[in-house]
Amino acid sequence: MRRVLLACYTLWLREIVRFHRQRSRIVGALGSPLVFWFLIGSGLNRSFKGSPEMALQGGYLEYFYPGTLALIVLFTAIFATISIVEDRQEGFLQGVLVAPVPRAAIVVGKIAGATTIAVMQGTVFLLLAPLAHVRIHLLDVPALIGMLTLVSFGLAGLGFLVAWWLDSTQGFHAVMNIFLIPLWILSGALFPAAGAAGWVRGLMFVNPMTYGVSGLRWFFYDQALPGEPSFAVSLAVVVGFGVAMAAAGTIAVRRTR
């Protein structure tokens, strides 16, 4: 067990050190969602009414805030797993694969690294909450960060699963953009399910990201918005998704050698 944890730890640590040494990644991962949030949020602020019972004091900027948080961890967690592709290209991955380490430890170590990076970026964005007039109870912050971690873990797992099969970073970007944008748009981050067309609501229902967003939003509203899953359901789906992704990643690594 000690060996397994040591292996996870060292794989995790390397992701953090590498991220720290590539400053541009920090700016990129935080900068674009911030600009996104401010421009879209300000643009739609007047037009967005929501339904009366939502009582959105902060307008769309407020509604959009948890969605932006989800966007930040989505982008950061998934793009952090691009390191799998880089490791494969640089030959580093082979060195890890010939080590006497359970394949699950390799997957979890890698995903944990990407998760940490995503949570750090998400936390920086949380510090900006007062500027957006978004109120969070200070006591809720640890639990919110916990939720952010669970959401990031599943997304990093998804990133790992895709990255494992690809051998170029360009390919990774191309494949991920196909995934990412619909995943995010149809998650309730941009608009609530309540007002959407039936088929869109159907897609949102099967999108695991929907549960991540509603799980995060819960901390901002104290209750689920109409048409959104309850907190318990959100939590269950988010945890289940993370476990499923890590398991699928492990199977993929075992199968291919």
Partner 1 sequence: MPLTSPAVEVDHLRHRYGERVALDDVSFAVASGEIFGLLGPNGGGKTTLFKIVSTLLFPTEGTVRVFGDDVVRDPAAVRRRLGVVFQHPALDGRLTVEENLRHQGHLYGLSGRTLTGRIGEVLARVRVEDRRRDLVATLSGGLQRRAEVAKALLHRPELLVLDEPSTGLDPAARRDIWQDLSSLRRQEGTSVILTTHLMDEAAACDRVAILDLGRLVALGTPTTLTSAIGGDVVQVTTRDPQDLAGRVAARFGVRAEVVDGKVHIERDRAHEFIAELVESFPGEIDAVTFGKPTLEDVFVHFTGRRLAEGV
Name which of 29 and 225 has its Cβ closer to partner 1.
Answer: 29
Please identify which residue in 97, 132, 196, 252 interacts with partner 1, judged by CB under 8 A: 97
Nearest approach, Cβ of residue 17 and partner 1 (Å): 7
Pure H helices in the chain:
2-20, 23-44, 59-80, 82-90, 92-97, 103-127, 141-163, 169-185, 198-206, 208-221, 231-256
Nearest approach, Cβ of residue 160 and partner 1 (Å): 18
Q: Is residue 17 near partner 1 by the rule CB under 8 A?
A: yes
Nearest approach, Cβ of residue 94 and partner 1 (Å): 5
Name which of 90 and 167 has its Cβ closer to partner 1.
Answer: 90
Please identify which residue in 27, 98, 127, 138 interacts with partner 1, judged by CB under 8 A: 98
Q: Report the C-alpha gap between 204 and 185 in whole angstroms.
A: 9
Query: Which among 57-65, 66-74, 94-102, 162-170 is the span making contact with partner 1, rule CB under 8 A?
Result: 94-102
Q: Report the C-alpha gap between 92 and 122 in whole angstroms.
A: 29
Q: Is residue 24 near partner 1 by the rule CB under 8 A?
A: no
Nearest approach, Cβ of residue 3 and partner 1 (Å): 4
Q: Given phi > 0 = left and psi -120 to 50 = alpha, else beta, which region is 154?
A: alpha
Q: Is residue 178 near partner 1 by the rule CB under 8 A?
A: no
Q: Is residue 21 near partner 1 by the rule CB under 8 A?
A: yes
Q: Please, what sign has the CA dihedral across residues 149, 151, 152, 158? A: positive
Q: Please, what sign has the CA dihedral across residues 14, 171, 89, 102? A: positive
Instruction: Name which of residues 34 to 93 contact partner 1 (CB under 8 A).
Output: 90-93
Q: Report the C-alpha gap between 34 and 126 in whole angstroms.
A: 11
